[in-house]
Amino acid sequence: MNTQNFESGPRWAVIGTFFILFFGALYLTASFLLPVILAVIFALVMSPIVRFLRRRLGIWESVSALVLVIGSLATLILGFYMLSDPITNLVNDAPRYIRAVDTQMKEVRDRLDRFQSAQQQAQDVAADGSADGSKGNDGKPQEVVVKNPSLLDNATQFVPQILASIGFTLIFLFFLLSSGDLFYQKLVRTMPTLSDKKRALHIAHDIERELSRYLFTITLINICLGIAVGLCLWWVGMPTPMVFGALATLLNYIPYLGSLMGMGLVGLIALTEFGNLTGAAVPVLLYLACTTVEGQFLTPMIVGRRLEMNAAAVFLAVAFWGWIWGVVGMFLAVPLMVCIKVFATYVEPLTALGDFLSVEQPRHADEDDD
């Protein structure tokens, strides 16, 4: 008994050390891993298109891959071009938005001042006690001003890195798509037995099919949501409703947190435009109504129970990958969950993980009796 406890202790220590080093490596190599993972996910989504064009129309994989990559690049450029002017206007008006929020915060603080008299007295006593050490030659406290880099400076610093990541992703995506079924052939050759070869192919094909179905479906739903949000905000007189519609489309790839970020930004702009909390609440409530209809009715009806996942697991995944990889990790959280979920269904030791990631299946009467 003691020997077993002695052996299990180091084993769990090794496992814990492995996970710490593994997550640390994920964090430190984010600049390299993120473009690779993005390219792999897009390759899984686009591979059925390349395979269809090869089998039905006889188009070479390299030609299909080049067309798809150029089309993706053209879509990105067109989107940036169409949204560049409205986004520039929003960035230029950022100081005005900050002043509006500061004004509202001052009004709230003024209303709460009468509840803070005791705290203010304590601060005055503390300030009198430390007056000799904190005052300068003129008897007044010295002010220290820390100048932070401006928003434009930060954006200029990260733009080359973002462009390099996009370029790397597209180039690697081209090589993945142009290789055709080479990955599956290599995968089959590495498996030792025939049953392992079949299982590996089933896993690869199921991940490809489920991920493609999920992303295509969610993209269509998100586009409809963006159109609805844009029209609602245009109806209430919000500026640049097209930008908020596009933003709603992108942020809805992040479950739960994406809609909160979108509503926060809409509320910030609406507070500046309408000048009061009541007027700012209307666009936010319209945004909330659109996301509620999408999340509670439209997505469950279209996606179906096969692709539904545990809400708690989704929230944890978004928070975890956001902690590791930032905003891009939040976008990748659900696609990675889809891949892990499919993989776990074929590996017996990971069956419990697959059950946790899935929604609870309805129990039958005979199961209850047992």
What is the Cα Rg of the chain in Å? 27
The pLDDT tens digits for 75-105 are 888 877 776 666 676 666 666 666 666 666 7
| pLDDT, averaged across the chain | 75
The pLDDT tens digits for 334-362 are 888 888 888 887 777 777 777 777 765 54
Tell me: pLDDT of 369 over 50: no
The pLDDT tens digits for 124-133 are 655 565 555 4
What distance in Å separates the CA atoms of residue 167 and residue 165, rounded to the nearest whole number?
5
Neighbours of 272 (CB within 10 A): 20
What angle separates helix 94-112 from helix 61-92, to the nearest 10 degrees?
A: 50
pLDDT of residue 339: 83
For residue 344, the one-letter residue type is A
Confidence category of residue 228, pLDDT binned at 50, 70, 90:
very high
- Weakest-pLDDT range from 30-44, 74-88, 165-179: 74-88
What angle separates helix 61-92 from helix 30-57, to the nearest 10 degrees?
A: 130
What are the residue ranges of helices labelled H in the chain?
Answer: 2-28, 30-57, 61-92, 94-112, 117-129, 131-134, 151-178, 182-190, 194-235, 241-251, 257-274, 277-293, 299-303, 311-346, 351-357, 365-369
Tell me: pLDDT of 312 over 70: yes
What's the burial of 101, exposed, middle or buried (CB within 10 Å: 0-12/13-18/19+)?
A: middle
Neighbours of 184 (CB within 10 A): 16
Confidence category of residue 227, pLDDT binned at 50, 70, 90:
very high
Residue where the block lists tokens 């080093």: 21
pLDDT of residue 365: 39
